[in-house]
Amino acid sequence: MKFPRLKSKDLKNIPFSIPNNFSKNLNIIIIPFKKSILSNLTSWRSFLRTLSTELSFIALYEFPIYSNASKIKETIIKGKFKQNEYQKSELDNIIPFYVNKRRFKNNLAILDEKEVHIFLLNREGEILWRSYGKYNLDKAQDLKRKIIENI
């Protein structure tokens, strides 16, 4: 299964396209739909940051998903990200996408927006592994196994 081809701009207004702009052979994608899942998002972030720092062939991205929005709303959303407590290097890998959410969720068989979704993709956008919900050791070990299989 392939991740949908999407286009957007990062927080610096630089165009970004999935999968064309993937910078590494393996790419971990964090997809939060709502602010209310912040605790689940935070539980994954630390582990995934460490993993992507230790393994030079992995890129970590955060793709917040929003319904199609006006340019004004997009500007407001991007401004809120810049105000939050992200390190500057993290902001480079946050790319908000403004899409038809129903179609996006159907394409990926996502049933619940109340959970954070994590994907491991290769450079071509093929989904190699996926999970959702709060971080736990079993999910982390499963992801590591899948990474090793795809080195």
In angstroms, the Cα distances linking 88 to 20, 44, 65, 116, 133 are 23, 19, 21, 22, 26
Per-residue pLDDT of the chain (151 residues; tens, 9 = 90+): 999 999 999 888 899 999 999 999 999 999 998 876 777 888 899 999 999 999 999 999 999 999 886 666 766 666 666 666 565 666 778 899 999 999 999 999 999 899 999 999 999 999 999 999 999 999 999 999 999 999 9
pLDDT digits (tens, 9 = 90+) for 107-120: 999 998 999 999 99
pLDDT digits (tens, 9 = 90+) for 35-55: 767 778 888 999 999 999 999
Task: Indicate the fold that domain 23-149 takes in CATH.
Answer: Glutaredoxin (3.40.30)
> Structural domain boundaries of the chain?
23-149
